[in-house]
Amino acid sequence: MKTHNLQGHLLQQFLQYSISELIELNNDLVKGNGWGTDRSAFRTAVISALSRKGVDLSPIISRDDGFTTIHRVPIKLSGDNNIVIAV
């Protein structure tokens, strides 16, 4: 429950961030080590905020055998500025 509350709080904060700031946060997170469950909640909030801002995250998402995975990779915006691509 604690992680879920942290994630919701972070999401509300991250909705105020620009898409560029959210991408930078994601890239810092995937390059670093440690953090455990707090890191997971932090990144989930970043990804959720990007999604709510209309960014297409499908290039970093895969679905296999009923499981959805969001790949832990650095990202950047594509030329049309609403689709992320792995770098």
pLDDT tens digits, 30-71: 887 656 667 788 888 999 999 999 999 999 999 999 999 999
CA dist 87 and 81 (Å) reads 15
Query: Domain boundaries in the chain?
Result: 2-86
CA dist 15 and 47 (Å) reads 11
pTM higher than the cut 0.75: yes
Give Cα 22 to chain centroid, integer Å: 8
